[in-house]
């Protein structure tokens, strides 16, 4: 049985001694103290099916025995060198990681978090392109360090401070809430928009959003040049927003034609989670110049990276660059084991199979309940957008979301919440979840949605 700090004491410390700007999930937060694969246990021994993986971070499973062994073996040998000497783990891992990427992406910088990775990507893109001006998308999340906070285009995360000089936002190509949304297709096994008639590569909304991106560049950038363009392959924090088919490809082509560098933020979408491909950018058929990754890369241990081309790496070599913990032996050993487990245990394939099964089940719930506005995603990156009713698409208010959310927790599943209006439930579990887990979760959601089917009208 659990014998650590008491629940009440932990809540008191949380309220008085920990970052007061940090949210905690649920009215009566759960105090988790153990995890195994896709399950978590609270201090009272109650088991939960973890469908949010510590915000899309636990990739192969909580305390996966093979990652545990990799960390343990490395810890017994060597913890740290700050990369001033050669050590096997970082070199082996860099070799294995780049083998998973297209050939042109061959130079790795190891860092410790997603924000740090995007900081670095922004820095190198500006240096290489010789242009300070960059564009991101509204509703994006790329981290909260002072350097990249401007790329995180959500007022939720903004302080009354300058949010990154030289950073501009283009309209978000959001098929559900965007001004030109709702009429076109997404690259998803579940075609949520059944009236879509766009031919491949001929989506009218895509052309409008691209035109707007072009205008942002034309009106704000010196000589129409651009330094960099940043995009997540599917927006995570923003509520699992998928761009309409062909958008990202056209955006990258436009940016490249103006001398800019394209950055794919794979912090949530990388490492096979989307099922059909190892990297999210591959699902869009684009060729990024820089890829940033974190979260699932280390299955929960701090590990992140920026991978780029030798040409960009050369510009970065004009000054020394150094990171004390980036590429430390323990994180790299865990990173290597994660890559191996994804392959050995067929986790990318599992994401495709279980994810599609999940999405199909959720699409049925959407057809059954008027409060489920949209079901979307790819593989095990899933969003359920809740509304007062499908016709108006009005976001379900926070208190009503909380009521539903609380019930799902009581019934044993932990799901996430996000989206600009906080009305999107997010399902992004450890990649080892099974169809049986998905069926259990679908059963819970069915019961909870049934109980609250009229909540949008109240
Ligand atoms: N990029 C994306 C797409 C993210 O989702 C996040 C974290 N939510 C980050 C960057 C920042 O990562 P970190 O919290 O490790 O700084």
ipTM of the complex in this document: 0.99
Strand 381-386, strand 424-427: pairing: antiparallel
Atom nearest to 235 CA in ligand 1: 3
Q: Cβ < 6 Å from ligand 1: which residues?
A: 55, 113-115, 118, 141-143, 232, 236-237, 265, 267-268, 294
On whether the CB atoms of residues 175 and 393 are closer than 8 A, the answer is: no
* Centroid of ligand 1 to alpha carbon of 82 (angstroms): 24
Any bridge partners for residue 137, and if so which?
A: 170
Q: Considering only 115-119, 180-184, 350-354, 355-359, which range has the smallest mean pLDDT?
A: 180-184
Q: CB count, 10 Å around CB of 364?
A: 14
Give the mean pLDDT of 26-34. Answer: 93
Q: How far apart are alpha carbons 121 and 262 in whole angstroms? A: 10
Token pair 């978090």 is found at 113
pLDDT of 197: 53
pLDDT in tens, 164-212: 889 999 999 988 888 876 444 554 445 544 334 566 666 778 889 999 9
On whether the CB atoms of residues 107 and 374 are closer than 8 A, the answer is: no
CATH architecture label of 66-344: 3-Layer(aba) Sandwich (3.40)
Any bridge partners for residue 414, and if so which?
A: 50
Mean pLDDT of all residues belonging to the chain:
93
Q: Considering only 48-52, 193-197, 233-237, which range has the smallest mean pLDDT?
A: 193-197
453: exposed, middle or buried (Cβ count in 10 Å: 0-12, 13-18, 19+): middle
On whether the CB atoms of residues 432 and 345 are closer than 8 A, the answer is: yes
Q: Which CATH number fits domain 7-63+346-457: 3.30.1490.190, 3.90.1150.10, 1.10.10.10, 3.30.70.2860?
A: 3.90.1150.10
Q: CB count, 10 Å around CB of 42?
A: 16
Give the mean pLDDT of 350-368. Answer: 95
Give the 3-state secondary structure of residue 334: helix
pLDDT exceeds cutoff 90 at 21: no
Atom nearest to 118 CA in ligand 1: 10
Give the domain ranges of the chain: 7-63+346-457, 66-344
* Centroid of ligand 1 to alpha carbon of 294 (angstroms): 7
DSSP per position, 27-40: SS---EEEEEBTEE
pLDDT in tens, 129-171: 999 999 999 999 999 999 999 999 999 999 999 888 899 999 9
- Phi-psi group of 240: left, alpha or beta (phi > 0 → left; psi -120 to 50 → alpha; rest → beta): left
Give the mean pLDDT of 433-452. Answer: 98
State pTM to two decimals: 0.96
């Amino acid at each position: 049985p659990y014998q650590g700090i008491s629940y009440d004491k932990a809540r008191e410390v949380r309220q008085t001694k920990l970052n007061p700007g940090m949210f905690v999930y649920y009215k009566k937060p759960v105090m988790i103290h153990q995890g195994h694969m896709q399950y978590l246990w609270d201090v009272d021994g109650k088991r939960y099916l973890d469908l949010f993986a510590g915000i899309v971070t636990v990739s192969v499973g909580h305390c996966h025995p093979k990652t545990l062994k990799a960390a343990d073996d490395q810890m017994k040998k060597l913890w740290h060198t700050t990369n001033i000497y050669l050590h096997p783990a970082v070199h082996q891992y860099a070799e294995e990681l780049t083998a998973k990427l297209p050939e042109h992406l061959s130079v790795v910088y190891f860092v410790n978090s997603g924000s740090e990775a995007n900081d670095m990507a922004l820095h190198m893109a500006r240096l290489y392109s010789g242009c300070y001006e960059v564009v991101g998308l509204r509703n994006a999340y790329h981290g909260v360090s002072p350097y990249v906070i401007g790329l995180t285009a959500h007022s939720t995360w903004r302080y009354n401070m300058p949010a990154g000089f030289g950073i501009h936002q283009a309209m978000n190509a959001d098929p559900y809430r965007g001004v030109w949304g709702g009429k076109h297709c997404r690259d998803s096994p579940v075609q949520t928009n059944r009236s879509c008639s766009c031919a491949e590569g001929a989506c009218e909304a895509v052309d409008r959003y691209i035109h707007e991106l072009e205008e942002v560049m034309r009106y704000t950038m010196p000589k129409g040049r651009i330094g960099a363009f940043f995009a997540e392959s599917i927006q995570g924090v923003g509520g699992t927003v998928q761009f309409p088919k062909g958008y990202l490809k056209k955006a990258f082509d436009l940016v490249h034609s103006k001398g800019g560098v394209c950055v794919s933020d794979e912090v949530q979408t990388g490492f096979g989670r989307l099922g059909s491909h190892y990297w999210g950018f591959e699902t869009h058929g684009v060729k990024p110049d820089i890829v940033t990754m974190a979260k699932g890369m280390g299955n929960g241990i701090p590990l992140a990276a920026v991978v780029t081309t030798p040409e960009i790496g050369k510009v970065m070599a004009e000054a020394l660059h150094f990171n004390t913990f980036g590429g430390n032996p323990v994180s790299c050993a865990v990173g290597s084991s994660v890559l191996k487990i994804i392959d050995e245990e067929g986790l990318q394939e599992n994401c495709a199979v279980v994810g599609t099964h999940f999405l199909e089940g959720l699409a049925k719930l959407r057809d059954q309940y008027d409060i489920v506005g949209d079901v979307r995603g790819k593989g095990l990156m899933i969003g359920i957008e809740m509304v007062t009713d499908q016709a108006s698409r009005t976001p379900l208010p926070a208190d009503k979301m909380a009521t539903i959310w609380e019930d799902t927790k009581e019934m044993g599943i932990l799901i996430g919440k996000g989206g600009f209006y906080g009305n999107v439930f997010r399902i992004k579990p450890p990649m080892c979840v099974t169809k049986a887990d998905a069926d259990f979760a679908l059963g819970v959601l069915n019961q909870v949605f049934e109980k609250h089917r009229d909540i949008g009208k109240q």
